[in-house]
Structure 1
Amino acid sequence: MTSDWRGSASANARNQLFFAYPSVAETDRGRENPFELSVSFFHRRKPMPTVAWFYGILIQMHYDDHVPPHFHARYAGSQAMVRISDGAIIAGDLPPTAARMVREWALARNGELQDNWRRAVVHQSLEKIAGPDDDE
């Protein structure tokens, strides 16, 4: 079964959780203009604020997201949902070194991540969180 931009069931369906914006490949199927998207498309996929950026790893959080408290990490084409409490990857994957760095950072910045989670639940502005490269 193939996947389309509407999120039909397939091996790639779990990745639909992570994309904030469509790629050209996701938008051009069956459309004369690949950059013409329906309003409902953007209601489903809301941009995620970036709370940290270190060593090329992007850390983002959704507003009013589902439990357990988590953040999204992206690196070199890989993406994962990471639980705040212990830094464990709960969906997706990252290269081993990036996964280790994200886990160590999440444990070191756990209080700040929890604070941002509480802000996100009530739609308050999220704070930027220093990465390990800012600590050096």
Structure 2
Amino acid sequence: RPRRCGWLDAAALKRANIINSTTGQCITKLDVLDGLHEILVCVGYSLDGRDIDILPLDADDIRRCEPRYERFDGWSETTAGLTRWEQLPRQAKFYLERVAELSGTPIDMISTGPDREHTIVLRHPFRA
């Protein structure tokens, strides 16, 4: 089914993971990216002429931020319904590994479709 999504803001995700003491994260809607030639991820911001890699805490600073994006090759293969890491396209694996690195938190689960069964469990979040 059609679903809307925007580019991932890894710098905001990094801040959220720090604030919430996150030990793992779930990436949802990976299949929405299927077929895109290029995928962008916000890796930081330009704030008053200097580069920062995490969302500022101050609302006035946030308003002055300009996003900086890293570009990734997309993939033509479908990820819809996949249930194992090994099944993912090489570019999808690279994207996910980079998201974990940029956000500072490992990925525990990846959803690959709208059904509950469309999930890749890398590390069970309640047994971590």
Please, what TM-score do these two structures have when normalized by structure 2? 0.24
Looking at both structures, which has the greater relative contact order when contacts are Cα pairs under 8 Å and sequence separation is at least 6?
2
- TM-score, length basis structure 1: 0.24
Structure with the largest fraction of strand: 2
